[in-house]
A = this chain, B = another copy of it.
Amino acid sequence: MRSYRPSDYPTVGVTVDLVVLTIRSGRLQILTIRRGESPFRGRWALAGGFLRPDEDLHAAALRELAEEMAFPVGSVHVEQLGTYGAPRRDPRMRVVSVAYLALAADLPEPAAGTDAAEARFADVTDMLRPGRLAFDHQRILADGVERARSKIEYTPLAAVFCPEEFTVADLRRAYEAVWGTELDPRNFHRKVTGAEGFLVETGEITGRDGGRPARLYRRGPLELLMPPLLRAAG
């Protein structure tokens, strides 16, 4: 029925929840907020909040991100992940949550928001275990991680996990962290440097490690990786 009298439908709260992924210490990590109020008081949850009256969904996601992070929104990738609206997923009232996926390079320590007691990054593998996250956020996180894992197969998006200038090895370690696999450095190198437009050489090289210096690259203009990288082995 497409009639718009408010009496026709119940009060529904619409929130925007965030799956914020980054790589720290070589491991894929997720931003979590410790809840300051009931239900699930003291438990960890995804960042999120209510959609505001005149706010687009995407804008709400960016706002939530900025609230939690004191954030340099430049090099962050944000995309809609999916919407979760099971009738009793929030015990207090009907809530439909639009989840967003955010991927970013090693972020500054999070700043706790208004009514969130605490914010931190936690290992994704840990938070994917049952009972670690409030509400249905474990499921949302699982969907977000799977989206990230498949998206870096056919887009150059893994570069957002790296600093502005990065080596091929940096990029490979980002893939390894997200996929949880090991890749052959030589085949990986050949593949990504051979993909026209994926990487742009800066002309500079590193000199810090105990090996041959590596060239530095920036993200190129390529948006779609054809053929895609394969998760099994690189």
Rounded to whole Å, the gap between the CB of A137 and the closest CB of chain B is 12
Q: Interface residues of A toward B: which range?
A: 35 or more
Q: Is the CB of B2 within 8 A of A85?
A: no
Q: Is the CB of B2 within 8 A of A48?
A: yes
CB nearest neighbor in B for A55: B87
- A13–B49 Cα distance when bound, in Å, is 17
Q: Is the CB of A4 within 8 A of B9?
A: no
- A35–B35 Cα distance when bound, in Å, is 44
- A3–B113 Cα distance when bound, in Å, is 13
Q: Is the CB of B37 within 8 A of A94?
A: no
Q: Is the CB of B3 within 8 A of A115?
A: yes
Main secondary structure of the interface of A (DSSP, over half): loop
- A178–B151 Cα distance when bound, in Å, is 23
- A11–B13 Cα distance when bound, in Å, is 8
Taking the full assembly, how many copies of this chain does it contain?
2
Q: Is the CB of A98 within 8 A of B86?
A: no
- Given A2-B37, A115-B1, the answer on whether A12 and B51 have CB atoms closer than 8 Å is yes
Q: Mask for A84-123, Cβ within 8 A of B = 1, else 0? A: 1111000011101010000000000000001110000000
CB nearest neighbor in B for A80: B82
Other than the given A9-B13, A12-B51, A51-B96, 19 more pairs (CB < 8 A) read A1-B115, A2-B15, A2-B35, A2-B48, A2-B50, A2-B116, A3-B37, A3-B115, A4-B13, A4-B93, A9-B53, A11-B11, A14-B85, A53-B94, A56-B85, A56-B86, A57-B84, A80-B82, A85-B98
27 A-B pairs whose Cβ atoms sit less than 8 Å apart in the complex: A1-B49, A1-B50, A2-B15, A2-B35, A2-B37, A2-B48, A2-B116, A3-B37, A4-B93, A6-B11, A8-B50, A9-B50, A9-B52, A11-B11, A12-B13, A12-B14, A14-B96, A51-B85, A53-B87, A53-B94, A55-B87, A56-B86, A57-B85, A57-B96, A85-B98, A96-B96, A96-B98
